[in-house]
Amino acid sequence: MTQEREVLDWATFGTASRELAGCVSDDGYRPDLILAIARGGLFIAGALGYALRVKNLHVMNVEFYTGIDERLDMPVMLPPVPQVVDLAGARVLIADDVADTGATLKLVHDFCGDHVAEVRCAVLYEKPHTSVQCEYVWKHTDRWINFPWSAD
């Protein structure tokens, strides 16, 4: 028996992006920059950048998942890694597609550390077992998610 999946198509992604941006805006948070977690966070970071009128986008390459329900023991930052000086004193919005275990978001959040003025997280999906509670979440699910940009 196959596990039921959450399926996100491009049209729904557009709606989700605008609604997620609305949550950030309605909360009064005005990020100076958006930090995308590649690869899944690239699409939502771009959409949030347009919706929130934030032109300063950075990318953090992190490898964790290697397949469906297959992952490394710990997430690993891959080069090029953003320079801390580029983040210094900024209000940062970390963007990713899903908060699953929370390990990737924690790694990136910890990287920002005391270098930034403030850091918050925005994700399309949050799983119930995540170790990181994001400030902005479009939808909660316990299913595997098929994103329109992924091959699985």
Q: What is the pLDDT averaged over residues 126-144?
A: 96
For residues 118 and 74, give the distance between their C-alpha atoms in angstroms, rounded to a whole number. 25
Q: What is the pLDDT averaged over residues 139-150?
A: 94
Residue 1 has pLDDT above 70, yes or no: no
Tell me which amino acid residue 27 is.
D
Overall pTM surpassing 0.95 (yes/no): no
SS3 of 35, please? strand
Say what the pLDDT of residue 64 is. Answer: 65
Q: Which of the two residues, 39 and 124, has the higher pLDDT score?
A: 124
Residue 67 has pLDDT above 70, yes or no: no
- pLDDT per residue over 6-60, tens digit each? 999 999 999 999 999 999 999 999 999 999 999 899 999 999 999 999 999 999 9
CATH 3.40.309.10 fits 5-64+71-146, yes or no: no
- pLDDT per residue over 46-59, tens digit each? 999 999 999 999 99
Q: What is the pLDDT averaged over residues 64-81?
A: 72
CB contact at 8 A, 121 and 94 = yes
Q: Which of the two residues, 144 and 127, has the higher pLDDT score?
A: 127
Percentage of residues of the chain with pLDDT beyond 90:
74
In DSSP terms, 144 is beta-bridged to 5
| Per-domain boundaries in the chain | 5-64+71-146
